[in-house]
Amino acid sequence: MKEQLDADMAEAMALEAARDAGLPPPADLDEERARGKAAAAFWNEGLPEVAAIETHTADGGVPLQLFKSDKPGPSPVVVYVHGGGWAVGSVVQNEPLIRTLVTRSGWTVLAPTYRLAPEHPFPAGLEDVIATVRWVIEHGSAHGLDPARIVLSGTSAGANLALAAAVSAELDPLAGLLFFYGVFGADLETTSYRRFADGRYGLARARMAHYFDLYDPAGKRASDPLIQPLLADFGPLPPTWLLAAGLDVLRDDTLALHAKLIEAGVPVTLRFEPGVVHGFINRGRIVRAARRSLAAAADFLTSLSSENA
């Protein structure tokens, strides 16, 4: 596959490299988490306004942020789960994606702040995602949401948690699934893991191995489909939209999931963006491929609305 770095992506990576030049590696996860949130300020400038942002709490004390559309309700809702290797990341670092989906599709987005590893390893984050969906089912109507139209979505490790929730048998049928470069397998010897192992395009294989160890210290991922969803029996899943980044160690996870969904008879759309790296989707201020991909994701949501109209 073509490996030339997209020009916009190269500009974004150079900007971030210049920002971090001279900084020592984060002393610990708390510092890494804080740096990530601080770095989001640049990428979040000039984002579209949403009608309202509400805060709620799901069972178990899971903090929720509800980004509301200005379209009259009851609104279909995307439960969006941020990435970050189950250990870092935050809602604020994903506001470009969240706000774009809301304003382009007319759907409302509900984003949980789930518990992070290693303080809270598997299955804590997964339990929080399931609790978030249940909150929509039990309380969504009171907040202008349509509990019958829920799409589960996520990026990276967030896509892992979202797909695990969808196949867990804990939830009623969903309206759709929407995943951005997810962690779906636990095989670190795929072609993309080996090709981009050194981290020259950002996410390194060793970093992913470290994140797996933080989230799954018991080493259950080799056989547990709630940690490695590619092992799951997909059965009657709803329409699914997938995005793969061409220069990402996780690229082949998405390609493998796409093939398995086709085999299972699940309606699935794959979007492949060459020349971009892991995490590109929230870099739309510079990276046009991110804007194009988010527009396509919003179109998928709009198509689900039309089918259920």
CB of 78 within 8 A of CB of 302?
A: no
Residues 6+ away with beta carbon under 8 Å from 133: 79, 150, 152, 165, 171
213 given a catalytic annotation: no
Residue 41 burial (C-beta neighbours within 10 Å; 0-12, 13-18, 19+): exposed
Catalytic residue among 248, 253, 258, 293: 248
Task: Give the Å distances, CA to CA, from 241 to 102, 148, 194, 201, 270.
Answer: 17, 19, 26, 24, 6
143 given a catalytic annotation: no
CA distance 114 to 128: 6
248 given a catalytic annotation: yes
CB of 109 within 8 A of CB of 103?
A: no
Residues 6+ away with beta carbon under 8 Å from 12: 280, 283, 286, 287
Catalytic residue among 105, 258, 278, 293: 278
Q: Name the β-bridge partners of 53.
A: 67
Catalytic residue among 69, 105, 156, 293: 156
Between helices 7-20 and 288-307, what is the axis angle to 10°?
Answer: 120
Instruction: State the catalytic residues.
Output: 156, 248, 278
